[in-house]
Amino acid sequence: MLVPLLWLVSTSLKSPQEKIFQFPPQFLPSQPTFDNFVKVWQTNPFGQYLFNSSLVAVLTVSLNLFFCSLAAYPLARLDFRGKNLIFTGIISTIMIPFQIVMIPLYILTVQLGLRNTFLGIIFPSLASAFGIFLLRQAFQGVPKELEEAARIDGCSELGIWWCVMIPAIRPALTTLAIFVFIGSWSDFLWPLIVVDKPELYTLPLGVATLAGTFSLDWRLIAAGSVISILPVVVVFLFLQRYIVPTDAGSGVKG
């Protein structure tokens, strides 16, 4: 699985004198250089692309966690008529490919005046069926005694959700945050449809423009791709230590 990534990094570090396509492949550049990264950064507004992607990813993750947790909590902990039917309807939407709803989503985005805006890029990812399913399962694993103790202390349903349930499912929230961040950061099709102003381009769109800018200079395209991958790797390495079971259930005596 690491071979394509190693090939990408190797290509980005090769000088113009070195061959890219040769057999056997050369993974270690004989004359490694960072000139490709410097040229890509200087000739393209990669700083703006990086800011746009960061803003979109942070807002997408925050809003997705908020809305998915609000939807998952009553489906997991409250009893009301039609709960299972609603949950089944939400889960069934996972089987619908994005390409089917893409045109209606675009028409709705235009009607709402969100085209060529960051909110328009975020709009389809405000909540996800997968996120609701994941957090519902996490909420169901929280001991009921914690909820009952909070209710006895006079805590409201929103208070229980925020003060008791959210801290108890931190690993699930972290896992969902990683999935949403990676999906938002690497999304190419929807931003390509809803945005046509270069100043609003995200990193995937910016990397795609390199093919025309440098007439398929694979060294520079690889350098731009490495720049777009690095933030995802950093976020994953930083958050992976939080994907561990919490001690939420340890405070309840058997």
- Give the model's pLDDT for residue 18: 83
Query: What pLDDT digit, counting tens, does each position of 237-251 carry?
Result: 887 777 655 444 444
Which ranges of 78-196 would DSSP assign to H, the alpha helix?
A: 83-92, 98-111, 118-122, 129-140, 144-152, 157-160, 166-168, 170-186, 189-194
Which burial class, exposed, middle or buried, applies to 151 when counting CB atoms under 10 A from its CB (0-12, 13-18, 19+)?
Answer: middle
Residue range 44-247, CATH number: 1.10.3720.10
- Give the model's pLDDT for residue 250: 45
Question: Domain segments of the chain: what residues?
Answer: 1-33, 44-247
- Give the model's pLDDT for residue 123: 92
Query: What pLDDT digit, counting tens, does each position of 21-42 carry?
Result: 777 777 788 888 899 899 888 8
Q: Check whether 121 has a pLDDT greater than 90.
A: yes
When pLDDT is cut at 50, 70 and 90, the band that residue 210 belongs to is confident
Query: What's the pTM value of the predicted model, to 2 decimals?
Result: 0.85
Out of 15-19, 46-50, 150-154, 243-247, least confident range:
243-247
Q: How far apart are CA 194 and CA 127, in angstroms?
A: 18
